Structure 1
Amino acid sequence: MINKIGKITVYVNDQAEAKDFWVNKMGFVVKLEQPMGPTMTWLEVGPSEDEFTTLILYSKAAMEKQNPSAVAHPSVLFSTTDIDSAYEKMKANGVDVDEMQRMPYGTMFSFKDQDGNSYLLREDK
């Protein structure tokens, strides 16, 4: 049956701004970028070249025309092995981060992308 998550679509206002955020502020790499018709680009980014799972940075305006009900923002939880280092690096890169939360089951914090969408980064114990 299903054995892993392949792709998560994030609907963005501007693909170039989203690419800049994920690549230059978050340290992701471009996994695939190719034209998709005359005015659109298929753009996938991931945490590394070796990581299977990617984020598809898809035009929100295009999807609103194709399927308006699909544009709700997904809840995405990222994982790290060094939450303190990730927090400091994201702050230094100008990422909008919330305060660190230290819980018995793990340490985490929320952050926002270039469009104000919220994500969670967590280090599990």
Structure 2
Amino acid sequence: MIDGLKSVMLYVDNQEQSVAFWTKDLGFVIKSEDIIYDDYKSVEVAPSLDSQTSIVIFDKAFIREASPEVNLGTPSLMFQVKNLDELYADFKNKGIRCGDIVETPDGRVFNFSDDEENYFAVNEVK
């Protein structure tokens, strides 16, 4: 039986730029950074050190070489936040591309993208 979700793998063209986006722009922390081999590494980021779920960022070139059968598409991630308006304003002030805030049956949501135009969403917790 599966007990939970530990991490999500995110494959990117520019790992350094992606790590900077998640840490500097979004305020995530680096939980670990491991050399896989040669110059390739994995970087695990999360909203905080005690987060139970994290994002592990890999360079697509490494995945193509090591695991050519892996789908390199971007996962569809939905984050949650208590104050959607505050986060939205913060992202816009930082120049992060954001879609409009929309009402859904599950509450208010907006999407945003990283520098590689991978889109993610944020849902307001009620």
Partner of 1:114: 115
Give the alignment's TM-score, normalised by structure 1. 0.93
- Give the whole-Å Cα distance in 1 for the aligned partners of 2:117 and 2:60: 13
Amino acid at match of 2:23: V
5+ residue gaps, structure 2? none
- Give the whole-Å Cα distance in 2 for the aligned partners of 1:103 and 1:78: 15
Deviation at 1:14, TM superposition (A): 1.0
Q: Secondary structure at the match of 2:74?
A: coil
Q: Secondary structure at the match of 1:96?
A: coil
Deviating 4+ runs (over 3 angstroms): none
The sequence identity of aligned pairs, in percent, is: 28
Instruction: Note the alpha carbon deviations across 1:31-83, whole angstroms, 9 max, x for none.
Output: 10121111101100000111011101111122123225421211111111111
Give the alignment's TM-score, normalised by structure 2. 0.92
- Give the whole-Å Cα distance in 2 for the aligned partners of 1:97 and 1:44: 24
- Give the whole-Å Cα distance in 2 for the aligned partners of 1:34 and 1:59: 13
RMSD: 1.3
Q: What is the total number of aligned residue pairs between the two structures?
A: 125
Partner of 1:80: 81
5+ residue gaps, structure 1? none
